[in-house]
Amino acid sequence: MANELQPGDMAPDVTLTTPEGGTLTIAQLRGRPLVLYFYPKDDTPGCTTEAKDFSARKGAFDLAGVAVIGVSKNSPAQHARFAAKHDLSIGLATDADDSVCAAFGTWIEKSLYGRKYMGIDRATFLIDADGRIVRVWRKVKVAGHAQQVLEAAEALAAT
């Protein structure tokens, strides 16, 4: 992996595109903890389940003072449709040029039926209020993941 970020590293100050077409930087989000999770594609079974699981826990993340943003290459319009279709309450962001995924080391070579291609590796980063990475989950399995992240976020908020 080109950029293997570890706990203790500063989160790269990348620019995200919101479903409304605006932009948001990691630096603008400082002051409160952030969960930044990367997923391959809107409206696929695993990605939909993951987004719904994070949305179901949004109230608990809010109580802990932690923002949650899911990142994929889908366009802002696709994100808006995805969020509306599944009543998602978490933030979504677009990485149209692969720069965000590259900075976080989630843009990787994958293989399916012997065919190699570039894609997003499902990964999650818990970032503290100062912009430092506290926890990294790579090769995420969707089942139970949002709950694990919530527990880590609540532990961070309690410190």
User: Could you list the active site residues?
Assistant: 47
Residues counted in the chain: 159
Strand bridging mode 23-25 / 15-17: antiparallel
**CA–CA gap between residue 159 and residue 117 (Å, rounded):** 41
3-state secondary structure of 117: strand
The distance of Cα 97 from the centroid of its chain, to the nearest Å, equals: 16
Which residues is 71 bridged to in the sheet?
Answer: 38, 93
Q: How is the beta sheet containing 23-25 ordered, strand by strand?
A: 23-25, 15-17, 91-94, 67-72, 34-38, 123-127, 133-137
| Residue of 136, 89, 147, 112 lying closest to 40 (CA atoms) | 112
